[in-house]
Structure 1
Amino acid sequence: MKISSAKKVSIRKLFAPALLAITIAPLALTAQAHSHGDHEGQGFDRERMEERMEERRQEVYQRAEISEEKQAELNEAHAEHREAMHALREEHHERIAEILSDEEQEALRNAMQEAHEEYRGKHGKRSHHDEQEDSADSE
């Protein structure tokens, strides 16, 4: 049985993306696992992010002409808030672990990721700010 060269080309065109996807998939999954993991290996990035946020906060304080004394109080309040949120997040994770098995937690994470990807596929990558503008425009 001979296959015409036109069919060979179309078959190659059909399977080339699939083969590429199969080849790249392990890299993508590894990158995704790292970016959505427990954030243990991201201390440096998290630290840099917090430093940038602190710099921006200080710039805003200066623009608003907030005194250094009040800046210190605001920074303390921010640190307390961050610590409280961290404690609450940990408490929440412990509670989830009491309710769901490891397998159920993994299934829930996967389902949430799929739902997120579907939402982004339908709505694109948009910021919260863009969504507020759209809702204001539609009123």
Structure 2
Amino acid sequence: MKISSAKKLSIRQLFAPALLAIAIMPLAFAAQAHSHGDREGQGPDHERMEERMEERMEERRQEVYERADISAEKQAELNQAHTEHREAMNALREDHRGRVAEILTEEEQEALRSAMQEAHEEYRGKHGKRGYLNNSDENADSE
């Protein structure tokens, strides 16, 4: 079964942005974290925001546990697992930031952040916030 070249192009157009996003995701996380700066010294507003976000997430988890009829003991275990996961992810993120800083100069890191921001904006322009391809763009590409 042979697919026409127009169909191949369309498939490439659909998957290329997703593959690019997957490929640069680790760098995007590092750049985003770096663009927010060091957590220390950001002041009480940032700390309060993080606390509120964590409280909201805890409320959502509790609601889900109740809906699923999870016992209090298992809820405590799940909460502990969540805490350990979050701490491990934060440590991994910090390690990655250090590696990026070892590899790239400040100027290169800034250039990478800018390029990633541009790519992100282009992707969002074509796919919207939820990642769906806009029909108007697909129709324009196929003409």
Note whether the superposition's TM-score is higher than 0.5: yes
Aligned to 2:85: 81
Is 1:111 equivalent to 2:115 in the alignment?
A: yes
| Structure 1 vs Structure 2 CA RMSD | 1.7
Aligned to 1:70: 74
Higher RCO (CA < 8 A, seq sep 6+)? 2
Identity %: 71
Aligned to 1:136: none
Q: 1:39 to 1:46 in 2, by over 3 A?
A: farther
Deviations along 1:67-121, one digit per CA (max 9) or x if unpaired, are 1011000000000000000000000000000000111111100110010001111
**Which structure 1 segments of 5+ residues have no match?**
1-35, 132-139
| Offset, 1:66 | 0.6
Q: 1:56 to 1:39 in 2, by over 3 A?
A: farther
TM-score, normalization by structure 1: 0.63
| Offset, 1:39 | 6.4
TM-score, normalization by structure 2: 0.61
> How many corresponding residue pairs?
94
Aligned to 1:37: 36
2: CA distance between counterparts of 1:70 and 1:99?
A: 43
Aligned to 1:46: 50
**Which structure 2 segments of 5+ residues have no match?**
1-34, 134-143
Aligned to 2:15: none
2: CA distance between counterparts of 1:111 and 1:81?
A: 30
| Offset, 1:59 | 0.8
